[in-house]
Amino acid sequence: MGFFARLKQGLSKTRGNLTERVDELVENTVEVDEDFYEELTDILLLSDVGVRASTEIIDELRRRVEEQKIKDAAVARQMFKDLLVEEMNIPRPPLGWPMVMFVVGVNGVGKTTTVGKLALRFQEIGRSVMLAAGDTFRAAADDQLAVWAERAKVPLIKHQPGSDPAAVVYDAVQAAKARKADLLIIDTAGRLHNKKNLMEELSKMRRIIDRDFPEATVRCMLIMDATTGQNGLNQAKMFKEAVEINGIILTKLDGTAKGGVAIAIRRELNVPVWYIGVGEGIDDLQAFEAKEFVKALFGEDEK
């Protein structure tokens, strides 16, 4: 099964919550009116798009429908779909080498696995990759990352469990510079977004990267579990304040009926979704494409 088919399958729960309800609404609407907009807003809220994003999307849809004097709900549905593509389509800045991917997030979102999948992904396209085990709190994190490093045949920089993660970052940066690596991916310990001291520790790690590797492009990637819905959005805001998030990786989209949170994140943070995960397999982490995402969400076939 190709990635689009897996994406379509993975979004089935969200599709039941969002697009199937939209289709039902369209079928039962004789003419686009205020009730239609209210129903559509409720559908977005149920899919965890959030109050602000839902209101702004519907306001823009209303403006376009009125401007073009549209009465047919099926035409409004297509406009709605196009609007969602526009919402999600923040262009990702081009990759620049050398690069540091600094991977952050709360506990249990799949950071270490995602780091491993990213290492394989870039190694397979011919980039020299190094990994850094910045999660020194969780005893199994080093071992887990070591398995991925071996699988991708890339070097891993690590310290003893319980050591200062900032020291790991410093050593990894020096090693990446000495070996002229294209990409250094730094795993970090999961932390609650409301623990001030742990967020400050992340800020310190980020400062070391900026200070000691100024020539590198830094991508601070927040891993988010799509099943957390609006709670994930609150996490994202706190992480963005601490370390200047400039990309989101959304995992476990196949496990939620609330995949609409991807739209809320985009609107609230103005940060692109770089990658999405719809399963446990290595190939289940893929670059995010807004058109493909919305097509899969609406149950359409790949063209």
How many domains are there within the chain? 1
Its domain, for residue 131, covers 99-245
**pLDDT of res. 193:** 62
| Domain-embedded: residue 173 | yes
| Domain-embedded: residue 29 | no
| Domain-embedded: residue 14 | no
CATH number reported for the structural domain that contains residue 114 in this entry:
3.40.50.300
**pLDDT of res. 55:** 94
Q: How confident is the model at residue 286 (pLDDT cuts 50, 70, 90)?
A: confident
**pLDDT of res. 119:** 95
| Domain-embedded: residue 62 | no
Identify the residue with better confidence: 1 or 77.
77
Are 122 and 182 spatial neighbours (Cβ–Cβ below 8 Å)?
Answer: yes
Q: How confident is the model at residue 127 (pLDDT cuts 50, 70, 90)?
A: very high
| Percentage, residues of the chain above pLDDT 70 | 99
Distances in Å between the Cα of 13 and the Cα atoms of 21, 43, 55, 272, 292 are 12, 14, 23, 23, 17
| Domain-embedded: residue 150 | yes
DSSP state letter for 42: H
Helix (H, G, I), strand (E, B) or coil at 225: strand
Are 188 and 217 spatial neighbours (Cβ–Cβ below 8 Å)?
Answer: no
Distances in Å between the Cα of 183 and the Cα atoms of 98, 186, 203 are 6, 10, 20
Name which of 219, 220, 185 is nearest 115 in CA terms.
185
Are 263 and 49 spatial neighbours (Cβ–Cβ below 8 Å)?
Answer: yes
Token digits of residue 134: 């910045």
- Across 93-97, 189-193, 195-199, the highest mean pLDDT is recorded for 93-97
| Domain-embedded: residue 21 | no
The answer on pLDDT for 236 being more than 90 is no
| Domain-embedded: residue 224 | yes
